[in-house]
Copies of this chain bind each other. A is one copy, B any other.
Amino acid sequence: MEQQPVTMSEVARVAGVSVTTVSYVLSGKRPVAPATREAVQAAVAQLGFRLNTVAQSLRTGRSSTAALIIPDIANPFYAELARGLQDTLHEERLHVVVCNTNADRAEELSYLDDLLKRRIDGVVITPQWLTPDDLGPLRAAGIPVVISADSGLDDPDLDLVRADSREAIDQAVGHLVRQGHRRLGMVVGPSGTPNGDPRLALFRAAARRHGLELPADLVVRGKHTRETGAAGLRRLMARPQPPTAIACVNDRSAIGVLEAAEEMGIKIPSDLALIGHDDIEVASLVRPRLSTIRYPAYEVGATCGRLLLERLDGRVDPVQVALRTRLVLRESA
């Protein structure tokens, strides 16, 4: 019987450090204190550990390919995420192919099935409708999966890169309150997704802390698109007591609000304050310039890439990374 290969987490245990630290020592990509580095190197030597998948590819000259599964290729957030992922994986000679699901569950499943059949080497996914069970076949086949989303599908075994927006959203609501706003509305995604509505929950909690309302009739839903934002504004302004400030789940829908406001003769920010989320490139190009909560897409992608490489290098324990967002105040609020 063949010996089981030594994993990176065994090295981490023997060296008494985290898997990430082992990964940094092995890749040389981040500085690590000399004593720590020596402990890791000693554990590597003792256990006879060697980097497997990626190193193997390098030895055989066979290129590996990871897939990035995203809900909306027209959202520049994902283009930036793809660039960050690609630049990180490129150093290890992994290709990236991008799969666009149009936020459709059948498409999500169909891509997963196809990638499994084609023996993809790893998957980074921003799921819309998938549950942890849907990822079972991939994981059973030993294909590493990294989730990029605000929550991890409630599965602690999955690698996750998420936004830590609590503070930035609190600051955004505080800013609106200081501007005199009392009726806050929100444009969010569809209801019933396994990920829930983490951004809505954060805005609601922040509103409460600041003595502001976020009533149910001022929360409208859609598909994270410009059309959703435009339709959302029309619905919100038709309410008996329309909001004086709107927060959007992403910049795409905020741009839709901006366009519809111009058509409707609503002046931003004097008639209505508007805050987006993500800080995609166009946020600073529109007029008025969009105030938003910056979630650094490129860094999200790069972080997903690092987690994927660690998995390919043998890490077993799940890692969850929260990237701090920050409020960027421009002209719309």
Contacts and interface: CB of A to CB of B under 8 A. Distances in A.
B286 A97 contact: no
B83 A79 contact: no
A328 interface: no
Contact of A100 (B65, B96, B113, B255): B96
B63 A73 contact: no
A100 B255 CA distance: 26
Given A255-B285, A285-B255, A285-B286, A83 B95 contact: no
Contacts of A80: 74
A251 B80 CA distance: 18
Interface in A63-89: 63, 65, 67, 73-74, 76, 79-80, 82-83, 86
Contacts of A287: 286-287
A14 interface: no
Count identical subunits in the complex.
2
Interface string A82-117: 110010000000011111101000000011011000
Contact of A73 (B82, B111, B113, B282): B82
Nearest to A73: B79
A67 B255 CA distance: 30
A118 interface: yes
A100 B83 contact: yes
Can you list the 7 inter-chain pairs with the closest CB atoms, starting with the nearest?
Answer: A97-B97, A98-B98, A287-B287, A73-B79, A74-B79, A285-B286, A282-B282
8 contacts: A63-B113, A73-B98, A79-B79, A82-B100, A83-B100, A95-B111, A97-B97, A97-B99
